[in-house]
Amino acid sequence: TKHTQNEQFCCPIIFGSVAGRIGKKDPPPSDPSHTHRWTVFVRGANGEDISPIIKRVSFKLHESFVPPVRVIESPPFEVTETGWGEFEILIKLSFADSQEKPLPLFHQLQLYPKDKDPDPDAEYAKLPITSEHYEEIVFNEPHEEFIEPLRRY
Ligand code: SLL
C-alpha cells in the first residue's frame, strides 16, 4: 500500500464529558453511593460521522469501575456510567487504517462545578456539567486507501 505525497488531512473532533446529579425522578444508580450519571464521548466537531476514520475507541476508567476498560467499536463512541468521584479518563483512538498509530487523549471527568460553593441544593448544582476539548487529528501523507474517508470527513 502506497503513501500519498504532500497530502495532509485534518479531522476536527470534540471529546469530553457531560454529567448530572441523579435526581429522585431519574433511574436509580446500581450503587446507592453513586450521586451522578455521566457520559464520556468522542464525536466529530461539526457533527461528522467519525466511524469511517475511527475503528475503535477505548475508554480507560478509574479502577473502581468493572471492567475499567470499555471498548466501543461503533458510534456513538461513548460510555455512560454512574459514580461519585472525578478522575482522569484515558481515551485511545484507533484508526480505520491500522498503520496509523493509535492516538491517546486525556480527559478529566468533571462532576462538580469549579470554584463554587459545593452545596448540592443550590440551583446551579442541578445543571449538567459539561467539559469538552477540541482537537484536530492530522494525518500526514496517509495511505491511498485511507484518502477517501479522510476527504469526505
Ligand atoms: C477521588 N481519586 O477520590 C478519585 C477516585 C473514583 C470514582 C474517584 C464509583 C465507582 C464505583 C466512582 O465514582 N469512582 O463504585 O463503581 O475522587
What's at 37, amino acid-wise? R
Residue with cell 450503587: 31
Q: Which helix (H) or strand (E) holds 146?
A: helix 144-152
In a domain, 3, yes or no: no
Alpha-carbon torsion 105, 109, 113, 114, what sign? Answer: negative
In a domain, 137, yes or no: yes
In a domain, 2, yes or no: no
Give the three-state DSSP class for 96: coil
ipTM: 0.92
In a domain, 39, yes or no: yes
The response to whether residue 98 sits with its C-beta less than 6 Å from ligand 1 reads no
What integer is the mean pLDDT of 11-38? 95
Domain total in the chain? 1
Q: What is the per-residue pLDDT across 39-88, written as a single tens digit (0 to 9) for each?
A: 999 999 999 999 999 999 999 999 999 999 999 999 999 999 999 999 99
Residue with cell 446500581: 30
In a domain, 1, yes or no: no
CA 82 to centroid of ligand 1, rounded, Å:
10
Q: Give the mutation target among 62, 65, 66, 108 for probing the ligand 1 site: most ligand atoms within 8 A of CB.
A: 62
In a domain, 98, yes or no: yes
**Closest approach atom of ligand 1 to CA 84:** 13
The CATH number linked to 14 is 2.60.40.1970
Torsion of CA 114, 118, 120, 122, to 10 degrees: -80
What integer is the mean pLDDT of 113-127? 73
Q: What is the pLDDT of residue 12?
A: 98
